[in-house]
Structure 1
Amino acid sequence: MMQFFDRKGLKGVLSILLLGIAVLVFQGDAEASGGTKIHFISLNSTTDAILLESNGQYGMVDSGEDWDYPDGEEYELREGVTIGIGYEQQVIHYLEQLGVEKLDFYIATHSHSDHIGSGDEILRHFPTDRLYINEYKDEYLYDGHKTDPNDPYYVERTTGDRLWDNQYVYDCMIETAKEQGTEIITNLDNPENEQYLSFKPANKKSIVN
């Protein structure tokens, strides 16, 4: 099932998950030898890849750029699209070296290729329980923000060069998640997703489970 949520919701789930990591740091010291770590994976670029580890469980927050890009047919190959560089193999290798076999979650902060370009490869390589991602459409940035001066994101004479390959990256991520059977969560305001908003000491283990 695919559901929808806004930016505020994504920040909320990220805060909750990081709070869960912080709690598990304390708990892990007393109950497990594996401990809790946050891996900032260095990729010699401005691209982002973060792995959260807690007592043998893992989650990703972005995974960086990849080698593929639009071919200019179904998706426009715009100026500014990154070509000729990718880091999916380095990220996959890093996770494999740690012994990662599956991910409890993948948080896609936003649909830029330097953040989640390799997300589809990661989901394909590592079975992932849940994907947290904002719904994205080019119109959200382009049509909507250039037509309403009252829009807080309004930019006069907004042009397509701000869209890069955002739609391509997002669609690849969603398509792969569906193919792999990963639960897609995009609306934390939905009552069905209330479990992802709550935090109680009694269920602190379940936050990243």
Structure 2
Amino acid sequence: MVAAPLPRHGTFTHPSPVAKLVYGGSADPGAITTLVERVDGHSLFGRALDRLDATTFNALLDRLGISAVVVLDEDRPELKALADATAFTQRPPVGPFIIFERRTATTIPIHVAGDRWSIPVEGQPGEWVSLHVAYYPLWRARRNDASLASRHGPAWDLEVRLDDGRGPVELRYRATAVEMGATMVSVAAAAVWLVWSWRARTRASERTVTQARSSA
């Protein structure tokens, strides 16, 4: 189950389109320029809580594959979208947390083995469908050994264009030559640092022994 609490304090030190969508309302490239503390309990997906409509709310949560929403009791009156969100039903609260659970299960990619994931999909040939997982260029999609085109959706979710085949879509997350090269450089740099560190300690130890002998 994936929970989507209202914005509370957090820090992102690397590009995160989904975080930008949650806090700023757009997943387009760019920095998050407003501190989370300033939107805490006031806005979600770039909209004031009391102005966030159920249609937009449901569409974004569906694309992100979110199956549960956890809200603080003090924020619940403002988040009117939940009152009209027929896809969710309220569960018994846990302390100050109010839990809303999706009525029907959310279909997300399931790990098969190694770098392989699988997800059942429905749609017409040529239609772009969301796979409810974050987009990244290293994802590769296939169905029945046929490659499928992919792109990022409006929530920066992974979309694939269906062909006329049948059956689930298979995803593979594979590094390209750039990523593998960067990994090799990192490993080489770490090895050089370890050798340098070992030699520095060895030399320091030798100097200490030499000084001790000279003093004696």
- TM-score normalised over the length of structure 2: 0.28
Structure having the larger proportion of residues in strand: 2
Which structure has more relative contact order (CA 8 Å, sep 6+)? It is 1
Structure having the larger proportion of residues in helix: 1
Q: Which structure has the larger Rg over C-alpha atoms?
A: 2
